[in-house]
Amino acid sequence: MSGQTGQPSGEQTFDVIVVGGGSAGAVLATRLSEDPSREVLLLEGGRVYAPDAYPDVILNSGRVGGDEDHDWGYSAATGQGDNRIPAPRGKVLGGSSAVNAGVALRARPADFAAWRAHGLSGWTDAEVLQAYKLLENTSAGDDRLRGRSGPLPIHQMEYDELTPSLRAFVDAFASEGFKRLADVNGSDQDGVTAYQLNVLEGVRQNTGMAYLTDEVRRRSNLTIRGGVEIDRVLIDKGVAHGVVAGDGTVFTGGEVILSAGAFGSPAILMRSGIGPAGHLRSLDIPVVADLPVGERLRNQPFYFNVYSLRPGELAMTPPGGALVWTASGEAAEDELDIHISATHLIDPAFSPTGGAIVLAVSIMRPDSVGSVRLGSRNPTDAPVIDYNFLAEPRDVRRMVEAVKLSRRVGAGEVFAKVAQAELLPGDGVADDDAALEGVIRENLASYEHPTSTVPMGGDDDEWAVVDSVGAVRGVGGLRVVDASIFPEIPSTATNLTTIMAAEYVVGRVYGK
């Protein structure tokens, strides 16, 4: 039955059911099935492709966000009036690792210190480093800090690999005094660097390929089923014993692990009766556990500072990229809270010259908190997502500061050698706080790194839904392992940390 799709045969009961085959779920299925005595079922809501049979929309690193066949079709309120924006999530084996920009950045030690402040046991710097090393296969950096033989290939982009305009971005920030970083996943992140990517020769290496290889899929104790959208967890006398799909199919197991992502996992929990009691009762869902599911959504606001490229400097391949990672004037101690990410992930027709570069500005540890709710009990209805961006004044101030930095360097002598004109916000927008706040609010996008909707925490953390290894409070046999359990959003892109978290939990709970 390994690697097949369709309905279960007979009354087979699995030792572990993993719901969601994305960045975390593919890791869990791979690692848990290393024990041949453990029967593992992986249920994926999207399509299941063989490792060498993914379509171009998934493989091509220049195509980000998938398409209608590989996306859940969610949207989110930004918190700016009635504005809504797409909230793309990968609906395919590999999950959002199959449709993202392939950025492979670790979180910083300061991020995990913030996690431990919520009362977590473990998650020490040494443990986290070991989990990061376990997942990666890279030639970059120091052997003491980097992994050489893990499943996920990570490539350090070299300066010479970048387009002329991306090189100008690096040079421009270096000329402003920003340090050139040799290994942003090493000991220092404050500066400017070419990206590290889980992209090889333009092919995005998603977890469905890197972890769930042909060899892994041939394991007799691993069953993978695609096109199975889960309604809820089956819970009897406070213990999970399976899941039921939207079409009524029941899958039974000794343990259930939800890895359906920062939107999917809380939605399944709430349909199962685990969530804020008032919200559940408003939908006539019997309350199993009154927990603050969906109450602490965190995400990073994004603003695109865009420039047309000069004739003769129009190269846009490879599309990514380079990064400035630094601290705002209001950053906490040891916090790097600004990203300015330079890519060519934009339609060249947007520029009158036929070439463009995006300097995408983000606040990485926002104070503002959003939410995920159910719109109905129907599992086919999208959850109600509100990012609530820029609700806190410090977020507004830091975002304006970061856009000012981007524009100042963008208008400087070094970058101007390749950039012909500023397209967004445009020369007509003054560089004062009020004007910039207005255009930022009107044009907010998302960095697409939602977290913290099912957060980990200690016994005294009022927002905790799960413990330090993802076990749901008050419900036996049920665990959540994906970005939803992060108690705070890391100050970086989140995909690598999601994969790491799955490696960490498997090692700590199952010894694998």
Q: Which helix (H) or strand (E) holds 397?
A: helix 393-410
Residue spans per domain, the chain: 13-104+204-297+450-510, 158-194+301-363+390-443
Rounded to the nearest 10 degrees, the angle between the axes of helix 125-135 and helix 109-116 is 120
The pLDDT value recorded for residue 469 is 98
Rounded to the nearest 10 degrees, the angle between the axes of helix 393-410 and helix 433-442 is 100
Task: Please tell me if the domain spanning 13-104+204-297+450-510 has the same topology as the one spanning 158-194+301-363+390-443.
Answer: no
Per-residue pLDDT reduced to its tens digit, 326-348 = 999 999 999 999 999 999 999 99
Q: Quickly name the fold that domain 158-194+301-363+390-443 has.
A: Cholesterol Oxidase; domain 2 (3.30.410)
The pLDDT value recorded for residue 320 is 87
Tokens of 404: 């000012």
The pLDDT value recorded for residue 512 is 63
CA distance 126 to 121: 13
Per-residue pLDDT reduced to its tens digit, 196-205 = 999 999 999 9
13-104+204-297+450-510 belongs to which homologous superfamily?
FAD/NAD(P)-binding domain (3.50.50.60)
Averaged confidence pLDDT in the chain = 96
CA distances to 132, 187, 349, 358 from 345, in Å:
27, 29, 12, 7
Residues of the chain with pLDDT under 50: 1-10
Tokens of 23: 């960045």
Q: Who contacts 230 (Cβ-Cβ below 8 Å, separation ≥6)? A: 19, 43, 45, 243, 244, 245, 246, 260, 268, 379
Catalytic: 241?
Answer: no
DSSP, collapsed to helix, strand or coil, labels residue 176 as coil
The pLDDT value recorded for residue 8 is 46
The strand pairing partners of 421, in sequence order, are 308
